[in-house]
Structure 1
Amino acid sequence: MSSLLSHNKDEPRITKSLSDSSPGSSAATTKSLRHERLARLSSSGTSEVSHSTPTNHAESYFLRRENRLSARKQAEEETAKNDYKKMYEKALATNQRLKSRLETSKQELAMIQDQLHRAQKGRQGGCGSNMLETEKKVKAELKTENQRLKDENGALIRVITKLSK
């Protein structure tokens, strides 16, 4: 806002005297003079401007608007900070929960691998040869039973076809 009303000190000021202006542009001259007076006052650091000029109303409007915008921006930044803090805390809690689940899974995996190694060692030992022979016998018995069931099934199919004729 102040950048709108103040001039840069490096810029030369153009002043118009009342004699240079035409009589029809007296309103423009008045506005120009007001603008120059405001520029001088704002560049000198004083804010003593009479409250009757229309420029003061505009200036106060822009100041109030700027204050509202900066307050709103501050509130949004504070909200964003709180949101980021909440999101960080939530992510931290999630990470802790996942780390504990990972640790539990690692322990379960270690137990299962240990059981697997023990089972494999048990098969390879003295019992392993007995188990292997037993499995072979069971396999042979299952094959003979399977063949017997196939034969029986074939006989039943033949009987059914004779009865249906």
Structure 2
Amino acid sequence: MSSLPSHNKDPSRIRKQFSDSCPVSSVATTKSLRHERLSRLGSSGSSDVSNDTSTNHAESYFLQRENRLSARKKAQEETANNDYKKMYEKALATNQRLKSRLETSKQELTMMQDQLERAQGRQDDCGANVLEAEKKIKAELKMENQRLKDENGALIRVITKLSK
């Protein structure tokens, strides 16, 4: 029996090594491997108390291992769900805060536009009043300038007569 090379191992033994090295395996694979191990342990020859104890010990080991794996998987799922929930709640709060700021900004913009329109309207009214006042002043200055020109001409004629 030992004349076979070491690389020709029993296929069930290879499966056992692979499943033991794999950190997460499906439940069906784990159950079938456990059943295979238990049947192999049970068919080893004698059915005395020590074999019965090792079978129970092996079965409890695999049950504990399954429980640990399922508990770990459940904890990871809960953590992932909690993380998504926290991220969703945080994003929702941020959206609400931004919507509030946007609404406030829109109201401020509307008020500023109203103030600007009112100021432009006043400026137009003031501009029209100022324009009329400037026209009146300009007309008065033209009349005054013409009067001074006439007076200057009269003075020049008087000086010319006196100098002769």
TM-score (norm 2): 0.52
Structure 1 residues 27-38: aligned runs within 5 Å: 29-30=19-20, 32=22, 35-37=25-27
Q: 2: distance between equivalents of 1:75 and 1:95?
A: 30
Q: 2: distance between equivalents of 1:128 and 1:33?
A: 104
Residue 107 of structure 1: aligned partner = 121
Deviations 1:94-149 (A, max 9, x none): 10111011012101210221122111210233x33455589xxxxxxxxxxxxxxx
Match of 1:62 among 61, 76, 98: 76
User: Larger C-alpha radius of gyration, 1 or 2?
Assistant: 2
Runs of 4+ in 1 over 2 A off after TM superposition: 16-22, 28-34, 36-41, 50-53, 127-134
Q: Give ranges in structure 1 of 5+ residues lacking alignment.
A: 1-15, 42-49, 135-165
Q: 1: distance between equivalents of 2:132 and 2:71?
A: 91
Match of 1:20 among 14, 17, 26: 14
RMSD: 3.6
> How many residues are aligned here?
108
Q: 1: distance between equivalents of 2:100 and 2:132?
A: 48
1:128 corresponds to 2:135: no
Residue 117 of structure 1: aligned partner = 131
- Offset, 1:40: 9.0
* Identical amino acids, percent of aligned pairs: 7
Asked whether the 8 Å contact 1:21–1:29 carries over to 2, the reply is yes
TM-score (norm 1): 0.51
Residue 11 of structure 1: aligned partner = none
Deviations 1:6-34 (A, max 9, x none): xxxxxxxxxx9432368xx5xx6445496
Residue 57 of structure 2: aligned partner = none
Residue 91 of structure 2: aligned partner = 77
Change (3 A) 1:32 1:17: farther
Letter in 1 for 2:132: R
- Offset, 1:85: 0.9
Change (3 A) 1:104 1:21: closer
Determine which structure has greater relative contact order: mean sequence separation of CA pairs < 8 Å that are 6+ residues apart, divided by chain length: 1
